[in-house]
Structure 1
Amino acid sequence: MLLQRIGNRGIRLGTLLDRAAARYPTNVLLLDHDLDIAPERGRSLTATDAADLVDDFGSRLWRAGTRPGDHVVIHKSNAFDITLLAIATVRIGAVPVLLSPHLDGETVAALLRRVDRPYLLTDEAKLTGSLPAEVFTLSRRVLLASGRHEHATALADLAGAPRVPALEMPPEQPTLVTHTSGTTGLPKLAVHTAFGLEARYRPQALAIALLRRREPVAFHVSFVHSRLFTALAIALLRGFPVAALVDADPERVAPFFARLRPAVLEAHPNTYMSWERLAADPRRPLSNVKFFSSTFDALHPRTVRALIGASHRRSAKFGQIYGQSEIGPCVARTYGRSRSPEADGRCVGIPFPGMTGVRVVSRDGRRPTAASPGHIEVSSDGRIRTYLGDPDRFAQQDSGGWWRMGDLGYRTRWGCLHVLDREVDEIPGFGSTLSVEDRLLGRLTELTELVILEAGEGRPVPVVCTRDDLPLDRVAWRRAVADLPWMAPPVQWRRADLPQTATTKVKRLELAHLIASGGHEDAARGAGA
């Protein structure tokens, strides 16, 4: 492995808030919503408050029978207490398995089978709404974070449980399980160790290093994503005020940011796209941002330009990190006002020296190029240990310490990695769909989403969403695509109707199936197409 483990004790999630409170007891954690497990605490917690909540609910889980090494599947309504309950689970030596609140009930049931009779920590809304009755037979015991159910144990009834000291498990053992995006089928369960999370922590700490003062850090990141835990550790252990958002609606984000004035901002790429309109907001909600960060997918150049332009900081930067749930951050680059994201096409950067490695494996025996991209593979100590319940799938992607990312690309003579397409999304003879999408988004500012799909026989199909779901300007579209590869007429959808993952990625294969089967007609009519 590339990263030396000297001094790496693991990230120690279970005591994260204890250590943060010991260093900066009055540092604040701000929310845009109430916690389901403790609505009386309000939307502003000190590090001491948060540490006490974790201690309290860890002790309740212990009283419910949870013990070291047990798996606790957490699938509840969307709120930051998902993260707090996960930390509480680790604090008593158990392993949280985080499932997105957006997963449907049948998918949750399928993943419960992979975990093999875990504890299920959910809430009344999920049990009476989306979850099938079989979750009771698939689980050892069902616990409720909020609400009541005759066949489940409410954590509220375990209040006052004797406090249990924190248990620190060996750093090479599993400490957290998250699921993959599920863009190509049933999500896989990625098993993280404390060693692996610590390896991911180091390169990501660079964003905070750019700040000389302890200024607010804001996140709109899925509460079930491993990235949130390393991000919290970076900020809280250095005493930076943290804001965690559940709502990405620009109309509600704008006043929140106008009051908070965040200096570091992290969100999913599609969230950033929806926040482009904040650049023109008279309250200037992004004016104090010094560093924008995205660690999930390549960003469209239009989005980068708009957000950097909204900052009044002299040296505002946009950091793009290319990675994956299974491997963590592995390649990075930054943009500024003087460095256009269009200058290098689909370049996502270079590896972290001494921490990650990247290679591109040829598909035709020749050196990979833009015209003939190869398979992108990465090496890092941040790699997961296995897929829970599916070790054979893990072995298929592991190539002697190199992890196949499922993307196609090439490296320049200077070492810059260019990502052109997902392997499953490649359209033979079309070129890079991502590159064409970038160009169209730059030419048509009315677009808020664009994906180009191979949906059955014939030309590739562009699926578009527009600002406020207004009808697409077809004349402007024809001008914009005049010099691009031949495509079918665009199909317009409401953005809310697109099938998406927990990190707001469009599920391209599912969308392509809907388009090919004619399932897009109602969405197209509703969007004014």
Structure 2
Amino acid sequence: MALFGKRIELGTLFEDVADRGHSTTVHLSRPLDIAPSMGTALDPPALARLVRVAAGWFAGAGVRPGDRVAISKRDHWDLVLLCCAAARLGAVPVPLSACLEKDVLDILLKRLDPALLVVDAARWADGRPVNSATIRTLVLDRDVDRKPGDSSVLSLDDVRGHTVPAPRRRPADDPLAILHTSGTTGVPKLVVHSTRTLLRRLVDFEAHRWPVLAARPDDVAAAAFSFAHGRALAWTAAVSALGPEKMVVITSADWDEARPPLEEHRPTIMEAQPSTFVRWRSHCRTGAFDRVRLYVSTFDAVHPPTVRTFLNATGHPRPVWLQGWGQTETGPLTFRFFTRRAMRPERGRHPTTRDLGRPVPGRTRLRVVDRETLRPVPRGTAGLLACSTKALCLDYTAERARYLRKRAGRWFITGDLGVLTRSGRLLLLDREADALPGASCVEVEDVIEDRLPGVGECVVLSVPGGPAQPVLVVEDGRLDPGRWQAAVADLPELAEPVLTTWERIPRTATGKVRRAALREHLGLAPETHGTGEWT
């Protein structure tokens, strides 16, 4: 997809949009942390100027082409703008979620060895990284205390007004950005993508004017997910290229923040991470979603009650829900459209969101292999999922052996378990590390949430040598024993459920449950039925 005759580029994205007179306005749920005086409605020329200003900050801090720039601040869309600024200099941006614990951040910074670390006051208050003596640090939103002659810590006053160099584009197969995975099972991986894999293979494809899927000139496209993850770069670039009437950026799942912009601008396309949709279920009848024609969900499994609730909340006659499956390493691998009819419970049939459709035609291929031998298994047999895609990342930073272990020629082992049906559809089971023998934790979660409407979320943890442990988010702390027994009577054996609240579940920045941390919190042994070898 060409952006008005030009290829999409990260560093000059908003300049290219502004140069062609693009009229899309970005509406924010709160002002940018790096430019609060700009308010909550920004047009492409203003965004282009801000990216150039930020590029000047980085140049003033000594950033050069090829340098890595690590960025860790409170979640907001300005993470994307700072990535654009680094890319404009020919540097390699590395957005790092502010939700990462300090010891994890230290590990990632050691692997990255960035030329510049960009933080806000909140992250700075956590304490300097253990290897900060060798990392120049720019603190965005406050003056910094430092010893005389200490040039390793900079404030914005130290770098403002620097001449902005001309845009410097990296070769198409050189690293463009490094993006971390969610980290549900431990320290996140640092995934290296190039211009070819991220922009040419993923963004260009998404920016094509596909029926139903693509934003149209009269659309209002809203997004609510972690802007420290790779999806934020892809969404921003693709939607900007398509040019909807408005883009709406929601920076928190807190309904008090999300409601005003959603009700004012009333999106027609709503993309959010599944955990955010779950948090908003009780508010979906407020009118904020009454124009939505397309919902988009990525990052994690989404369960039928959530999909059904939002499809029924819109006044559009034929809304659809796009569920994508993929990884930071690969981009989307399959997708499926869910409709109201597909989510309707019928006698003898439980609606499922585990059926994720077929591989993206002409772009991805899937195969299922035996977990021990890695040899292909027949259709209809469960096993490890491997994919083939030209959008595959280049490497894992400082973990080359791990990357090579998961790759065999053009095939890459995703670490997920699933089944390819005879017709070629993918039935997703679990992560290999969370396997439940003879069943699927995610499918059991589907059924329990569907049968017990008072359960906000269900998490099932496999337990070797014993029944699986269900954990239920029940805000009022109550669950009728009789209803529980009736709901699970035909399911695999389960232990007595643990009742908890949303806030007590350990999560990643994308809202995914940190299952290993939850196991530890519950006093369960760390061992699972999986090997964890393919995480």
TM over 0.5: yes
Tell me the equivalent position of 2:15. Answer: 18
Q: 1:238 to 1:428 in 2, by over 3 A?
A: closer
AA aligned to 1:131 is G
AA aligned to 2:156 is L
For the aligned residue pairs, the C-alpha RMSD in angstroms reads 2.4
> Is residue 477–residue 500 contact of structure 2 (8 Å, CA) maintained in 1?
no
Asked if residue 200 in structure 1 is aligned to residue 193 in structure 2, the reply is: no
Structure 1 range deviating more: 82-91 or 508-517: 508-517
Tell me the equivalent position of 1:524. Answer: none
Distance 1:209 1:336 in 2: 14
Tell me the equivalent position of 1:245. Answer: 250
Unaligned stretches of 5+ residues in structure 1: 520-529
Deviation, 1:157, is 3.5
Match of 2:137 among 142, 150, 172: 142
Q: 1:85 to 1:300 in 2, by over 3 A?
A: same
> Is residue 377–residue 403 contact of structure 1 (8 Å, CA) maintained in 2?
yes
Match of 2:314 among 305, 311, 315: 311
**1:338-365, CA deviations, whole angstroms, 9 ceiling, x for partnerless residues?**
3338556621111111111111113487
Asked if residue 492 in structure 1 is aligned to residue 492 in structure 2, the reply is: no
**1:461-497, CA deviations, whole angstroms, 9 ceiling, x for partnerless residues?**
101102x444233332222112211111001122112
Match of 2:54 among 37, 52, 57: 57
Number of aligned positions between the proteins: 507
Tell me the equivalent position of 1:326. Answer: 329
Matches within 5 A, 1:275-314: 275-281=280-286, 284-314=287-317
AA aligned to 1:383 is L
Deviation, 1:131, is 3.4
Matches within 5 A, 1:32-431: 32-128=29-125, 130-139=126-135, 141-151=136-146, 152-197=153-198, 198-205=200-207, 206=210, 209-240=213-244, 241-281=246-286, 284-340=287-343, 342-343=350-351, 346-363=354-371, 367=377, 372-429=381-438, 431=439
Q: 1:268 to 1:419 in 2, by over 3 A?
A: same
**1:367-419, CA deviations, whole angstroms, 9 ceiling, x for partnerless residues?**
4566x511101111111100011111100111111111111111111110011
AA aligned to 2:229 is H
> Is residue 119–residue 142 contact of structure 1 (8 Å, CA) maintained in 2?
yes
AA aligned to 1:376 is L
Asked if residue 459 in structure 1 is aligned to residue 460 in structure 2, the reply is: no
> Is residue 9–residue 195 contact of structure 1 (8 Å, CA) maintained in 2?
no
> Is residue 455–residue 513 contact of structure 1 (8 Å, CA) maintained in 2?
no
Structure 1 range deviating more: 263-272 or 211-220: 211-220
AA aligned to 2:462 is E
Distance 2:357 2:254 in 1: 30
Deviation, 1:316, is 0.9
AA aligned to 1:166 is P
Distance 1:11 1:211 in 2: 16
> Is residue 215–residue 239 contact of structure 2 (8 Å, CA) maintained in 1?
no
**SS at the partner of 1:406?**
strand
> Is residue 368–residue 376 contact of structure 2 (8 Å, CA) maintained in 1?
no
Q: TM-score, normalised by structure 2?
A: 0.90
Tell me the equivalent position of 2:533. Answer: none
Structure 1 range deviating more: 202-211 or 116-125: 202-211
Tell me the equivalent position of 2:532. Answer: none
**1:26-78, CA deviations, whole angstroms, 9 ceiling, x for partnerless residues?**
42111112222111111111111111000111012112100000001101122
AA aligned to 2:132 is F
Unaligned stretches of 5+ residues in structure 2: 147-152, 345-349, 527-535
Distance 1:131 1:494 in 2: 30
Deviation, 1:12, is 1.6
Match of 2:448 among 436, 440, 449: 440
Q: 1:132 to 1:63 in 2, by over 3 A?
A: closer
**1:431-487, CA deviations, whole angstroms, 9 ceiling, x for partnerless residues?**
111111101110111111111113464221101102x44423333222211221111
AA aligned to 1:324 is Q
> Is residue 59–residue 164 contact of structure 2 (8 Å, CA) maintained in 1?
no
AA aligned to 1:68 is P
> Is residue 11–residue 167 contact of structure 2 (8 Å, CA) maintained in 1?
yes
Distance 1:211 1:163 in 2: 33
Matches within 5 A, 1:502-521: 502-516=509-523
Deviation, 1:156, is 3.9
Distance 2:27 2:68 in 1: 29
> Is residue 216–residue 242 contact of structure 2 (8 Å, CA) maintained in 1?
no
Distance 2:502 2:465 in 1: 25
Q: 1:515 to 1:38 in 2, by over 3 A?
A: same
Distance 1:116 1:185 in 2: 20
Q: 1:491 to 1:111 in 2, by over 3 A?
A: same
Tell me the equivalent position of 1:526. Answer: none
AA aligned to 1:436 is V
Distance 2:258 2:77 in 1: 16
> Is residue 362–residue 368 contact of structure 1 (8 Å, CA) maintained in 2?
no
**SS at the partner of 1:403?**
strand
Distance 2:422 2:260 in 1: 46
**Seq. identity, %:** 34
Deviation, 1:132, is 4.1
AA aligned to 1:373 is A
Distance 1:397 1:13 in 2: 29
Deviation, 1:85, is 0.7
Q: 1:336 to 1:428 in 2, by over 3 A?
A: closer
Distance 1:133 1:334 in 2: 44
